Structure formats: C-alpha cells, structure tokens
Amino acid sequence: MQYFDVVFYLFAFITVASAFVVVFSKNIIYAAFSLLFTFFGVAGLYVLLHADFLAVTQVLIYVGGILVLMLFGVMLTNKVVNVELKTGTINTVPALVLVAVVGGTFAGLFYSTWKGSAAPPTAAASTITSLGEMLMTGYLLPFEVASVVLLVALIGAAMTARRTRKLLEK
C-alpha cells in the first residue's frame, strides 16, 4: 500500500465516521462539531483529487461560513427547549426505495469502472482557469439552474424560520 492510499483511506474514514456522528447524534452540538470534521475530510479528498479550487471553496464556504452560522444559531437558541418540530408526512418507504435505487446505481457504476488502485499523478496543473472557462461557456445553464435551486432553498429556509418563530411566540 502506497503513502497516497493511506492518506486517502484516512480522509475517507474521517469523513464517513464524522458523517455518521452527524446523522445519529442526539446532541446537536456534537452533530455540528462532527460536521466540521466531515467538511474538512471532504476538503482533504478534494486535495487528493488535485481539485484545489474545490478544496479551498469547501473550507471557505462550508467551514468558514455555513458551519459557523449553524454553530451560532445553535449556541444562541440553546435556551429554547421542548419545541417539537415535525413534518406532517413521513415518507419512509419512498425514501428507502429511492436510497436503494441510487445506492444500487452507484454500486453498479463503481464495480463496472473499478480497475484497482492506480498510481497517483506526478504533477497537476491548477484547475481554476479551466473551471472558470467551463462555468462560463459549456456549463453556464447548469450553473444558473443550480443558483436558482439554491435561491429556492434559501427562501424555503427563511419561510421555515418564520413559521418556527411564530410557533415559539404562541
């Protein structure tokens, strides 16, 4: 096993283990801090893939912005107790079917394309220039669609926060 493989497995283990803590933790503080390690693990995987722009973006946006915002939200609202937030419907069966289909597709793609461990590339050029050209030419439409989807998610989060605040005021 090469040094590259050991580092990859270390980052993969950190990412997956901390993601399990995020999902299965009953304490929201532990979940938020585990999310920090998940984000750093993903950034480390991006570095190993020579995706320098994505690694820096992962650290700046997710760790620097979103996670800090979540931690402040958790710390400032820790005095709110016994608030029960539930969704009206629980679609467990369709969610399990969707997870099985997506997981099966990923497993099939993995096993059909896996050829063993390849030697790491010796030198890689920066991806920032080519990424910028692709985003502004060939992938402009998907880039704009992603921005609209993120805008809709932001509006949904604001509406949910407003409803939650109204519930807390009652």
Mean pLDDT score, 127-149: 84
In angstroms, rounded to a whole number, what is the distance separating the alpha carbons of residues 146 and 144? 5
Average pLDDT for the chain: 81
- Model pTM score: 0.56
pLDDT at res. 91:
75
Q: With 70 as the cut, is the pLDDT of residue 122 above it?
A: no
List, in order, residues 6 or more apart from 10 with CB less than 8 Å away: none
- In the CATH scheme, what is the code of domain 1-78? 1.20.120.1200
Mean pLDDT score, 110-117: 75
What residue spans define the domains of the chain? Answer: 1-78, 128-170
In angstroms, rounded to a whole number, what is the distance separating the alpha carbons of residues 53 and 133? 13
Q: What percent of the chain lies above the pLDDT cut of 90?
A: 18
Least confident of 8-12, 25-29, 114-118: 114-118
List, in order, residues 6 or more apart from 135 with CB less than 8 Å away: 143
Tokens of 8: 């990859």
Highest mean pLDDT among 85-89, 97-101, 161-165: 97-101
pLDDT at res. 53:
84
H helices present in 25-48, as ranges: 28-48
Exposed, middle or buried by CB within 10 Å (0-12, 13-18, 19+), for 55?
A: buried
How far is Cα of residue 33 from the mean position of the Cα atoms in its chain?
A: 14
Higher-confidence position of 88 and 25: 25
In angstroms, rounded to a whole number, what is the distance separating the alpha carbons of residues 66 and 63? 6
